[in-house]
Structure 1
Amino acid sequence: MASEDNTVLVLGATGGIGSEVARQLRDAGWRVRAMTRGAVPATGDGIAWLRGDAMDRQAVAEAARGCAVIVHALNPPGYKRWPALVLPMLDNTIAAAEAGGATIVLPGSVYNFGPDAFPLLDEASPQHPATRKGAIRKEMESRLEAASRRGARVLVVRAGDFFGPSTGNNWFSQGLVKPGRPVGTVSDPGRAGVGHLWSYLPDVARTMVELLARRDRLEAFACFHMAGHWDADGTAMCGAIQRVVARRTGITPRVVAFPWRLLALAAPFVPTFRELREMRYLWETPLRMDNARLLAFLGREPHTPLDEAVEATLEGMGCFGAMPRAATA
Structure 2
Amino acid sequence: MSQPTATVFGGSGGMGQYVVRELYRKGYRVRVVARSEEKIKKRLHDVDVEVLTGDAMDPRLTRRACEDSSLVFHSIGFPYLEWEEKQFPVMESLLKGASGDGRTFVLVHSIHSYGIPNTNPVSEDHPTRPKTKKGKIRLKMEQMLQEAHDHGDVQGVIVRFPDFYGPHATNSYMDYIVSTALKKKKIHWIGPLEVKREYIYVPDGAKALVELALSGKAGGEAWNIGGQEVSGTKILDTIGKILDKDLSGKSIPKWMLRMMGWFNPDMKEMVELFYLYEDRFVLDCTKYEKRMGRIPVTPLDQGIQETLRAKRDWGSSEFNT
Normalised to the residue count of structure 1, the TM-score between the two structures is 0.87
Structure 2 counterparts to residues 40-59 of structure 1, below 5 A: 41-42=40-41, 43=45, 45-59=47-61
CA distance in structure 1 between the aligned counterparts of 2:49 and 2:124, rounded to whole angstroms:
33
Please tell me whether residue 298 in structure 1 is matched to residue 300 in structure 2. Answer: no
Please tell me whether residue 324 in structure 1 is matched to residue 315 in structure 2. Answer: yes
Number of equivalences: 314
Please tell me whether residue 74 in structure 1 is matched to residue 76 in structure 2. Answer: yes
Normalised to the residue count of structure 2, the TM-score between the two structures is 0.89
Amino acid at match of 2:30: V
Structure 2 counterparts to residues 16-95 of structure 1, below 5 A: 16-39=14-37, 41-42=40-41, 43=45, 45-76=47-78, 78-95=79-96
Go from structure 1 to structure 2 and tell me whether the alpha carbon gap of 1:235 and 1:266 turns closer, same or farther (over 3 Å shift). Answer: closer
Deviations 1:207-244 (CA, angstroms, capped at 9, x unpaired):
111112312x33x313221231112x543222222232
- Contact 1:71–1:106 under 8 Å retained in 2: yes
CA distance in structure 2 between the aligned counterparts of 1:150 and 1:164, rounded to whole angstroms:
37
CA RMSD of aligned residues (A): 2.5
CA distance in structure 2 between the aligned counterparts of 1:15 and 1:208, rounded to whole angstroms:
15
Report how far residue 263 of structure 1 moved. 4.1
Deviates most, 4-13 or 294-303: 4-13
Report how far residue 68 of structure 1 moved. 0.7
Report how far residue 46 of structure 1 moved. 0.9
Deviates most, 22-31 or 188-197: 188-197
Please tell me whether residue 161 in structure 1 is matched to residue 163 in structure 2. Answer: yes
Deviates most, 66-75 or 276-285: 276-285
Q: Please list every run of 5 or more consecutive structure 2 residues that lacks an aligned counterpart in the other structure.
A: none
- 1:308 aligned partner: 302
CA distance in structure 2 between the aligned counterparts of 1:192 and 1:323, rounded to whole angstroms:
28
Of 7, 10, 13, 1:12 maps to: 10
Amino acid at match of 2:57: M
Of 250, 259, 266, 1:265 maps to: 259
Amino acid at match of 2:10: G
| Percent identity (aligned) | 27
- Contact 1:163–1:199 under 8 Å retained in 2: yes
Go from structure 1 to structure 2 and tell me whether the alpha carbon gap of 1:317 and 1:133 turns closer, same or farther (over 3 Å shift). Answer: same
Deviations 1:74-128 (CA, angstroms, capped at 9, x unpaired):
111x312211100111111111221343111112211111235343210111011
CA distance in structure 2 between the aligned counterparts of 1:180 and 1:36, rounded to whole angstroms:
29
Amino acid at match of 1:153: Q
- Contact 2:163–2:172 under 8 Å retained in 1: yes
SS in structure 2 opposite 1:178? helix
Structure 2 counterparts to residues 284-295 of structure 1, below 5 A: 284-295=278-289
Amino acid at match of 1:121: V
Superposed structure 1 runs of 4+ greater than 6 Å apart: 325-329
SS in structure 1 opposite 2:111? coil
Q: Please list every run of 5 or more consecutive structure 1 residues that lacks an aligned counterpart in the other structure.
A: none
SS in structure 2 opposite 1:117? coil
Go from structure 1 to structure 2 and tell me whether the alpha carbon gap of 1:269 and 1:326 turns closer, same or farther (over 3 Å shift). Answer: closer
CA distance in structure 1 between the aligned counterparts of 2:288 and 2:46, rounded to whole angstroms:
35
Go from structure 1 to structure 2 and tell me whether the alpha carbon gap of 1:158 and 1:99 turns closer, same or farther (over 3 Å shift). Answer: same
Go from structure 1 to structure 2 and tell me whether the alpha carbon gap of 1:202 and 1:258 turns closer, same or farther (over 3 Å shift). Answer: farther
- Contact 2:117–2:281 under 8 Å retained in 1: no
